[in-house]
């Protein structure tokens, strides 16, 4: 047997890191290491992966196997399908594993009759049928696996700087943020340990989701969302660790869905985006209402740059631009203000800002949250009896004013009494504080009471167009006509109880702006 036949038998395996930037709970990585003689780990920053990158690497390294974690969103499917086709053409084994989500979204859709569940409540029912998500898999073992380094590897495969990628800070405060996130798996696991202890203490008090009840807006960066977005933390590991902690504290055999509600919402938005390339758009998106939003660029710029004249909103937007992250309560506030609360501006414009600046910007989750807050889809469709008051809500979330003073330094010396509505401060108080409204800080761009009433009137008008619409079969088809779903999913809307399947199906089957009652 000659050397050529020996070379054919050698297993040269490549694991393609994308979102799953971790070693723990990485089933695709385990498959890559299985019986591998040589192993390479790669991350591709740019270029046409199937056309330019992999053909060269496969030939240079003699690759026989490629593994990667599933990216279920439609924006990645063209890339992945081309890579799968390349592997088939070159006779390279291609293995794709699910671990970026708790469940395989395709299994959820299949269990729901071929279409995603259109409401969160229905999604939870389908997951009950599918069963609990898989547990985290073991850590990888590199024993006996050769990890060769390429000639001139440091020069050829070095990690580029932000400048080399064409990314530069937009301001001095962005160059030197007051707070910032550190990436990597080690940091993710450190934060997870701190988070679980915080959850344990909350469970002992009979509470859940402590980061939502009393958000620490000025504390150190502790959120796990950036690590879930890039996959430096396994969502399955996180999910089951919360379960275990709750059961240890409460001695309960069952864990309520609310304990892991935020993770389930993430799953729901991922599932809704599968097979829907227009998911992050309004036009052509079958689950989103086509609402006649404004596109007022002057007002949008003020909102985007934190110059609305409402200190709570401005603090949130400035932190977003300077640090790349804001708390969930801040995201809800600024999204509501931009859309159905005050400005009636297109949620897609807000989504573009979030996608640009958020370090945890996730294609499915970000768009899903914007549709939710703007009452454009899901259970919240057209349901907005109340909107976020940028004054009262700010006082509630930031009772001492520390957050506003940090990110709106013009108001640093403004008395707490006037901090959230400085235009009401007497002229002498403004002068003493060194912040005169109209000179040092902008006046409110809209009157919230009047603006919110206008927005509510617009939403009521849309509701009126929806009354008496003819039914369609879209939603019934999406649940496979299963009577057990239809029986459970009732929803109170327009003052009466209707079947949520019927209600949403007749909304998404039309364009609101052009519909007749």
Q: Which residues are annotated as a binding site for FAD?
A: 262-269, 360-362
- Read off the DSSP letter of residue 339: I
- Three-state SS string across 27-92, please? HHHHHHHCCCCEEEEEECCCCCHHHHHHHHHHHHHCCCEEEEECCCCHHHHHHHHHHHHHHHHHCC
How many other CB atoms sit within 10 Å of the CB of residue 60?
A: 9
User: Exposed/middle/buried for 486, CB within 10 Å: 0-12, 13-18, 19+?
Assistant: middle
Q: In what order do the strands lie in the sheet with 12-17?
A: 38-43, 12-17, 65-69, 93-97
How many other CB atoms sit within 10 Å of the CB of residue 141?
A: 9
Separation of first and last alpha carbons in the chain: 80
Segment holding 474, helix H or strand E: helix 474-478
For the chain, the 3-state helix, strand and coil shares in percent, each to the nearest 5, are: 50, 5, 40
DSSP notation for 485-506:
HHHH-EEEETTEEEEHHHHHHH
Closest by Cα among 337, 364, 351, 341 to 235: 364
What residues are designated binding site? 262-269, 360-362
Closest by Cα among 64, 11, 70, 17 to 36: 11
Contact yes or no for 513/290 (Cβ under 8 A):
yes
């Amino acid at each position: 047997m000659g050397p050529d036949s020996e070379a054919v038998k050698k297993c040269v395996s490549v694991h393609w890191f994308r979102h799953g930037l971790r070693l723990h709970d990485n089933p695709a990585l385990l498959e890559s290491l299985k019986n591998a003689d040589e192993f390479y780990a790669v991350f591709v920053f740019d270029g046409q992966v199937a056309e330019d990158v992999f053909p060269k690497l496969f030939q240079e390294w003699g690759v026989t196997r490629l593994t990667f974690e599933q990216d279920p969103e439609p924006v990645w499917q063209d890339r992945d399908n081309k890579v799968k086709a390349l592997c088939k053409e070159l006779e390279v084994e291609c293995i794709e594993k699910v671990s970026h989500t708790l469940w395989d979204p395709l299994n959820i859709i299949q269990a729901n009759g071929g279409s995603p569940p259109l409401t969160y409540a229905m999604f939870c029912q389908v997951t009950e049928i599918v069963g609990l998500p898989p547990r985290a898999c073991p850590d990888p073992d590199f024993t006996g696996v050769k990890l060769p380094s390429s000639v001139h590897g440091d020069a050829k495969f070095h990690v580029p700087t932000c400048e080399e990628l064409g990314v530069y800070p937009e301001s001095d405060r962005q160059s030197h943020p007051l707070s910032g996130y550190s990436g990597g798996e080690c940091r993710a696991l450190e934060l997870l340990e701190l988070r679980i202890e915080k959850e344990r203490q909350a469970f002992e008090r009979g509470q859940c989701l402590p980061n939502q009840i009393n958000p620490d807006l000025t504390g150190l960066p502790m959120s796990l969302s950036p690590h879930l977005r890039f996959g430096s933390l396994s969502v399955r590991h996180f999910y089951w660790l919360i379960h275990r902690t709750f059961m240890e504290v409460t001695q309960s055999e069952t864990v309520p869905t609310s304990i892991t509600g935020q993770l389930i919402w993430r799953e729901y938005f991922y599932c809704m985006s599968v097979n829907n390339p227009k998911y992050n758009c309004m036009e052509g998106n079958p689950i989103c209402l086509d609402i006649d939003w404004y596109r007022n660029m002057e007002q949008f710029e003020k909102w985007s740059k934190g110059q609305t004249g409402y200190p709570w909103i401005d603090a949130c937007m400035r932190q977003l631009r300077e640090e790349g992250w804001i708390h969930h309560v801040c995201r809800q506030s600024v999204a509501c203000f931009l859309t159905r609360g005050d400005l009636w501006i297109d949620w897609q414009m807000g989504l573009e800002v979030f996608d640009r600046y958020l370090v945890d910007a996730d294609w499915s989750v970000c768009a899903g949250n914007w549709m939710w807050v703007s009452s454009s889809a899901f259970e919240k469709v057209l349901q907005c009896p109340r909107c976020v008051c940028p004054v009262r809500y700010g006082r509630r979330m930031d009772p001492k004013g520390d957050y506003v003073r940090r990110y709106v330094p013009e108001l640093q010396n403004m008395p707490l009494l006037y901090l959230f509505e400085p235009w009401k401060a007497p002229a002498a108080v403004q002068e003493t504080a060194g912040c005169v409204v109209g000179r040092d800080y902008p006046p409110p761009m809209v009157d919230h009471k009047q603006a919110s009433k206008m927005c509510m009137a617009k939403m009521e008008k849309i509701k009126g167009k929806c009354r008496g619409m003819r039914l369609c079969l879209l939603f019934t088809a999406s649940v496979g006509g299963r009577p057990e779903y239809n029986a459970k999913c009732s929803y109170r809307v327009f003052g009466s109880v209707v079947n949520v399947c019927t209600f949403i199906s007749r909304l998404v089957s039309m364009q609101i702006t052009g519909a007749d009652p």
